[in-house]
Amino acid sequence: MFFYDDFIKKIEKTKVQYKPLKKYTLEGKKMIVWLGTGVPLILIGALQGYIGYTKNYSIPYIGIAALLLFLGFKHLKNLFKYKIILDCENKRILGQGLNLSFDEIDTCTMKEGVVGKGNRLQVIIRIVTIDKREIIIPLIMGNKIDFICTLKDELKGKFSIIKG
């Protein structure tokens, strides 16, 4: 794929500046998509709740309102909660339910793959730990190149790039 080959070339050219703590949040496109779905769901849910309230507490309207509000707030929570931290001083990857030491990593590979039930190819990091646990991190954060280059510098021989 053309995009992936260019991405690899950018990684090879990039030099990383050392910082003891690097934080990576969601990329701009994903933020817009999650905001663009979360906020309308909340507004529609509020409208449904108001209609249910004015129609003498109509159960179907209030049920739909509760569902839409739940989904809208879940989108916003995911938007603001997403964060991956590379702690280069303590040699750890933190965030998204992950607290992994660099010493526990057996291999780390960057490749193109499909995550979950989706059918879209995207760049992912596949980490295999010493105890044979597999962790897949999709690169949906901003500043992907800095993230990859920092991991590459910290993991040295354990990091590899699979060219597709």
State whether 46 and 118 are in the same domain: no
State whether 129 and 150 are in the same domain: yes
For residues 144 and 10, the answer to whether their CB atoms sit within 8 Å is no
State whether 42 and 61 are in the same domain: yes
State whether 1 and 17 are in the same domain: yes
Cα-Cα-Cα-Cα dihedral sign, residues 73, 74, 78, 81 = positive
Q: What mean pLDDT is predicted for residues 107-127?
A: 86
State whether 20 and 96 are in the same domain: yes
- Rounded to an integer, what distance in angstroms lies between the CA atom of residue 28 and that of residue 35? 10
State whether 121 and 157 are in the same domain: yes
> Tell me, what CATH number does 10's domain have?
2.30.29
Q: What mean pLDDT is predicted for residues 20-34?
A: 90
State whether 91 and 149 are in the same domain: yes
Of 3-7, 58-62, 79-83, 157-161, the one with minimum mean pLDDT is: 3-7
- Residues counted in the chain: 164
Q: What mean pLDDT is predicted for residues 1-11?
A: 79
What tokens were used for 140? Answer: 């949906």
State whether 87 and 49 are in the same domain: no
- Domain boundary residue, one of 62, 80, 98: 80
- Total domain count, the chain: 2
For residues 101 and 91, the answer to whether their CB atoms sit within 8 Å is yes
Q: Select from 101, 111, 119, 158 the least CA-distant residue to 136.
A: 111
State whether 127 and 88 are in the same domain: yes
Domain housing 61: 30-80
Q: What mean pLDDT is predicted for residues 93-105?
A: 89
Evaluate if residue 35 carries a pLDDT over 90.
yes
